[in-house]
Chain A
Amino acid sequence: MVPISYYLVLSAILFGLGVVAFIFKRNIITIFMSIELMLNAVNLTFVAFSRALGKLDGQVFVFFVIVVAAAEAAVGLAIILLIARNQQSLNIERVNLLKL
């Protein structure tokens, strides 16, 4: 059996990649995908602990996260679509309408 630390390290690496991509990427779609990556890194941690502890709580959490992520994807993609139409661009630097 694979020890839990393997899963946690993998999860941490995935989360870190997500964070780095979130900060440094300019394309909104890519940023969006990095958020999904972070969410799924957390999901991986949940199922790993669920398996290791022999409890189902973690798996229930994962379902919730997936549902929220799906809803977020629906709203987020709609927003991105509108930004793309209005700005003719997907560059995050240009999304600064709230700036004074």
Chain B
Amino acid sequence: MLLLDHLWIIPSLPLLGAALNGLLGARWPKRWVDVVGVGTTGLAFAATLELIREFAHLRADQVPWSKSYLTWIGAGNFRAGFDLQVDQLTIVMLLVVTGVGWLIHIYSTGYMAHEGGYYRFFAEINLFTFFMLTLVMAANFVLLFVGWEGVGLCSYLLIGFFFLRKSAADAGKKAFIVTRIGDFGFTLGILLIFWAFGSVDYATVFKGAAGMPVENAGQPGVLTSISLLLLAGAIGKSAQLPLYVWLPDAMEGPTPVSALIHAATMVTAGVYMVARAHILFSHAPIAMTTVAVIGGLTALYAATIGLVQTDIKRVLAYSTVSQIGYMFLACGVGAFSAGIFHLMTHAFFKALLFLAAGSVIHAMGGEQDMRRMGGLRKQIPWTYWTMLLATLSISGAPLFAGFFSKDKILFETAVSPYGGRVLWVIALLAALLTAFYMFRLIFLTFHGAPRYDEHATHVHESPKNMLAPLVVLAVLSVVGGWVAAPALSGGADYFEIYLAPVFAKSSALMATAVGETESRTLELQLMGVAVGVATLGFLVAWWFYIRRPQTPEWLAETFHAPYKLLLNKYYVDEIYDLAIIRPIGWISTRLLWQVVDEGAIDGSVNGVAHTARRLGSRLRVLASGNARSYAAWVLVGAVLLLGLLLWPLLGTVR
């Protein structure tokens, strides 16, 4: 029971790696930085596996297993401590963070080998792993928030890793500031939780919430407010409408960072948080509907932008936004375990897509524009095949990992009382677009004739330490969903069963609301529709980019206005700039800077100094430096003082 008693070991390992690399790495040879960076994460992964073994022996009533280590903040009856906890949800997240994280660390030793600041990269990415582990293992909302902000900090540092490039530094700032808007809501939500439950510990809060009545749409109460505020934080962190704008820009960071932080782990923290607080949400139908609607709209919206982007990483970024929309949709319709399932499979195939894209960029010597690629299939076969598997997985090709999770979400959306036909159609359209833009990416990059200068670009397959993680992730992208496979033939969905204890209380609520609408035939029918739609997406992409390569150009010409709109991402950045950034900039410059700061604050300070100086210049004539004049002043003073003392006596003399 070593690790169950010492849960702190798991997050401490990457922290140790970050400290060693950060403080000493500058003087170390690369080899040592590798060993420390990859080693500590690998150990954390091993520790997670050992933890799972020990966790399996716990009785059901011992879960969630929590440990308090230190009281961090204690004031009155408020207590926030370094309390860690483990339940099935934590286990899944731990596996994703340490497992996928470790593979990406290995990949980075190849990808970052020729970059400056090698040790800094590993220190920061290890620090990120530490904060992410804190986030998923926290046993109270305050510690969750510590991890939440910590990963935000590391995200900022790593997006701006190439900080000499202005666009990278700006993208880092954008990510930090935009997520801060959501975090403001999150902070208020935590305060409201303490106000409502008198504690921020999960155990107390969730127990209290479970005992409260469901707040029907007619009379929203405190749980609705809390859920909506928490959702604001989740929207910012997980790049949902309307705060998604930072994620595409975050692609300025090195590709392993995009894979780890902006695909597999950090951006899914919002989904984790909603799933973790599922009792609060399931008691607030308004919040549930909001989650579902935001998720569904984001899934479709981001997918439409992904259709026309030409930067290989940006396509994947919009795809990530879209897929996280799916996870929110799942949570919003009450299928929390489906959302987490998609989170896991998405971590596999999206990390793989990013790493493979990194391998392509590596092979092309830094080129990211798909219009200047093409025909790479033969030169970099390993990258091609692994990326193709990931694409099949994300598009929902039968028996791939993404197929199980996505169809689960589509089915739950269709049958849940919070879902409905409209959301299902939206999700289905998003699935269609997903299949299209992913195969568009594959065809543009790997098929057709080369569109780059074959003499100038020396295309080469990546080294083994980059290909090995690709292969492992490719295997996971295929088999990662098979835990749910028996459900197809009437068996059990083992993933859902594993997570069932975590979501039991919410599922019970849903079941009473739903009744037994689930039916296998319906599920199979919906599945058939989804597969058909994905195939359609694939065929359209094939027609556009293989069969008739001139079609896209013709379409862009014919539908010029919509094409422009998509290419410019619906002008959202421009609208935000005009509606928010410029007014704030104007107020800051004209009012706060030029009037308040320069006028009022500087003015009053300068005014005091000015008065003192003028008074001084008048008084300085008295200090002549002549000793006799001082003596005369002393005399005058003495006479005046004496006169003052004797004045009252004068009357009595008369």
Contacts and interface: CB of A to CB of B under 8 A. Distances in A.
B631 A96 contact: no
A98 interface: yes
Contact of B625 (A22, A31, A92, A99): A99
A75 B627 CA distance: 17
A98 B635 contact: no
Interface string A11-32: 0000000010011000000010
B637 to A, nearest CB: 13
A95 interface: yes
Query: Top 9 A-B pairs ranked by shortest CB distance?
Result: A99-B625, A98-B625, A96-B625, A95-B627, A96-B626, A92-B627, A92-B628, A22-B631, A23-B631
Contact of A93 (B620, B628, B632, B635): B628
B629 to A, nearest CB: 10
A42 B351 CA distance: 99
Interface in A44-100: 92-93, 95-100
Given A19-B635, A23-B635, A100 B625 contact: yes
Contacts of B628: 23, 92-93
B617 to A, nearest CB: 12
A23 B632 contact: yes
A94 B367 CA distance: 85
17 contacts: A19-B635, A22-B631, A23-B628, A23-B631, A23-B632, A23-B635, A93-B628, A96-B624, A96-B625, A96-B627, A97-B625, A98-B623, A99-B624, A99-B625, A99-B626, A100-B620, A100-B623
Contacts of A99: 624-626
A21 to B, nearest CB: 11
Interface in B596-629: 620, 623-628
A96 B625 CA distance: 5
A31 B635 CA distance: 14
Contacts of A19: 635
B198 to A, nearest CB: 70
A32 to B, nearest CB: 12
Interface residues of B, number: 10
Contacts of A96: 624-627
Interface string B616-654: 000010011111100110010000000000000000000
A8 to B, nearest CB: 15
Contacts of B631: 22-23, 31
Which of B624, B625, B627 has the largest count of A CB atoms less than 10 A from its CB?
B627
Contacts of B623: 98, 100
Interface of A: 19, 22-23, 31, 92-93, 95-100
B613 to A, nearest CB: 16
Contacts of B626: 93, 96, 99
A22 B627 CA distance: 11
Given A31-B631, A95-B627, A100-B625, 20 more contacts: A19-B635, A22-B631, A22-B635, A23-B628, A23-B631, A23-B632, A23-B635, A92-B627, A92-B628, A93-B626, A93-B628, A96-B624, A96-B625, A96-B626, A96-B627, A98-B625, A99-B624, A99-B626, A100-B620, A100-B623
A22 B628 CA distance: 8
A98 B630 CA distance: 12
A99 B632 CA distance: 16
Contacts of B625: 96-100
A64 to B, nearest CB: 20
Nearest to B632: A23
A70 B402 CA distance: 103
A31 B632 CA distance: 13
A97 B625 CA distance: 7
A93 B626 CA distance: 7
A98 B627 CA distance: 9
A27 B642 CA distance: 28
Nearest to B621: A100
B120 to A, nearest CB: 58
Contacts of A22: 631, 635
A95 B631 CA distance: 13
Nearest to A22: B631
Nearest to B639: A19
Nearest to B638: A19
A38 to B, nearest CB: 11
Interface string B464-481: 000000000000000000
Nearest to A96: B625
B505 to A, nearest CB: 85
A19 B636 CA distance: 11
Which of B624, B626, B628 has the largest count of A CB atoms less than 10 A from its CB?
B628
Nearest to B630: A98
B365 to A, nearest CB: 73
Interface string B556-573: 000000000000000000
A72 to B, nearest CB: 15
A14 to B, nearest CB: 16
B292 to A, nearest CB: 81
B621 to A, nearest CB: 10
Nearest to A95: B627
Contacts of B627: 92, 95-96
Interface string B330-349: 00000000000000000000
A22 B631 CA distance: 8
Contacts of B635: 19, 22-23
A19 B625 CA distance: 20
Interface string B427-438: 000000000000
Interface in B205-250: none
A82 to B, nearest CB: 15
Contacts of A98: 623, 625
Nearest to A34: B631
A12 to B, nearest CB: 12
A31 B623 CA distance: 20
B589 to A, nearest CB: 44
A100 B624 CA distance: 7
A96 B627 CA distance: 7
